[in-house]
Chain A
């Protein structure tokens, strides 16, 4: 049994929302509301959910790129959220981030090699020669040619840019890499290349991934475990096989039914569960379950009390009254 590398408990991120003329009462938008999950060393946890479900915000909070309101994020034995100064620098070496949009995540004024080198310059005390060697190795590891090191980001294609982003994330030899929809901005042929590269690197360097995505096909390919988020809450958390074969939460069931299949016989069997309506207003959240107003099987109690995330067997956790 691999040890737990990242243990997130009760993580909450809220943003202040100004309404009216600015003198009114402050209201808060809870983008991530009291979520807990853990990731085992060398494995991949995927967080899936629709736009606005808080998955990216949760990832940013784990990496200390947006401030968290409460909760703990334990990495090894320290709480990431409490680190300051030198400690935070040490933590940043261990947690790196791959961004969604390869077109805006690379500084257009820097050459490829200095982009990859940046974390080394800021976070490590290695000598110049060592850094140069590491950068050259990273270029090879992500499948870029050495003569491309002196080019500027706009001279690369989307897939190549994402490779630079991956090389940058690897530079400090991190333990945890947070991938925020790393392939959603790429076209499908390139997506496969990048995903295979990520898996190859995971095996070679024993990396742990926190993988954010809305693409269930990608998630199925990448993950060991999956957490489904809706409106800032985790509604279901299970290992990959158990989630894909027996989804328990009505929201997860609807999501999975929306994945298109190529197989004709499968397609005939599959019934698409539609979710009517829109998500509730994130500032005035309804009482009870947040999915109740769109849920096909909701009962009276669903709009009264909020369901807890509870274990329904073999580590499969669901937040639903009716499971």
Chain B
């Protein structure tokens, strides 16, 4: 590197965030997936206003194939417009995916941070609790929760969040265990930082990269989980979700395969896009791959 270049490099005060974005941008697959994801998000937000068909309304004869009578994706067994249902379902799926991931991050980061920071008996207790949740059969446990407390959206979100926080807790704990031994944490203590300051303003920001990646992947698996639950009928009857469309049409899979195919594709594309973005984030945030 010539003198000029190193001077230039030196004067740039880029934040770690900007640096990560610079890395992410180089991964074309991930950027493409991010584009797809944004499209899906925009569709979920504005779709119902642009395509004003009520997803619960019987609009045409049941099982009309895609393209007939102006219904691009056809109608289901009750004669409802499949396109309207998928657009409406996008809202529910994304909403549940994001909020369930949020719930599990909140639980997981809190448990992992406390366990990794305080060690000792706090860690023992919290990690045994984590292991307890890890060995629970997740689908069965969340089915029980939803069956007992009713199939409302908040309850489904909570049921998904409560069975999937363990991975976040373990990742957070391991990062805290590693970072708490570094000298800058001790330096922050010597500078008068309280335990709270150390945990949340010193260690947590440095522990974030793997947590962010895990969270991105968790949105995807939460969407899949919700699809699984609603396929089994454990869903809020007042809203349409992708899994529910597949579940309610599953008897007609041989006669009208498209009724399960299109929502299936929607789930597939969304989850794949989220996974690819998560993968891109992993590369962008992994300091070992960063050129310094």
- B-binding residues in A (CB < 8 A): 60, 63, 65, 89, 92-93, 95-97, 99-101, 104-109, 111, 118-119, 122-123, 147, 150-152, 154-155, 165, 168, 171
Contacts and interface: CB of A to CB of B under 8 A. Distances in A.
B183 A92 contact: no
Contacts of B189: 65
A106 B184 contact: yes
Given A92-B192, A97-B187, A155-B13, 17 more contacts: A60-B186, A92-B190, A92-B191, A99-B187, A101-B183, A105-B183, A105-B186, A107-B202, A108-B206, A122-B191, A122-B192, A122-B194, A122-B197, A151-B13, A152-B14, A155-B10, A171-B191
Nearest to B15: A152
B191 A123 contact: yes
A97 B190 contact: yes
Contact of A105 (B11, B187, B193): B187
B206 A109 contact: yes
Interface string B1-39: 000000001111111100000000000000000000000
SS of B interface (majority)? helix
A151 B9 CA distance: 11
Contacts of A107: 184, 187-188, 202, 206
A123 B10 CA distance: 32
A37 to B, nearest CB: 20
B128 to A, nearest CB: 15
Lowest 9 CB-CB distances: which A-B pairs, in order?
Answer: A122-B192, A105-B183, A119-B191, A123-B192, A97-B190, A107-B184, A104-B183, A99-B183, A150-B13
B13 A111 contact: yes
A109 B13 contact: no
Interface of B: 9-16, 182-184, 186-194, 197, 202, 205-206, 292
A210 to B, nearest CB: 13
Contact of B193 (A95, A111, A118, A168): A118
A111 B15 CA distance: 9
Nearest to A149: B13
A147 B292 CA distance: 21
A316 B190 CA distance: 33
Nearest to B185: A107
A221 to B, nearest CB: 24
Contacts of B188: 107, 118
Contacts of B10: 151, 155
Nearest to B191: A119
B8 to A, nearest CB: 12
Nearest to B189: A65
B183 A109 contact: no
Contacts of A100: 183
Given A105-B184, A155-B10, A65 B190 contact: yes
A118 B186 contact: no
Contacts of B186: 60, 65, 97, 99, 105
B224 to A, nearest CB: 33
A124 to B, nearest CB: 9
Contacts of B190: 63, 65, 92, 95-97, 119
A123 B202 CA distance: 16
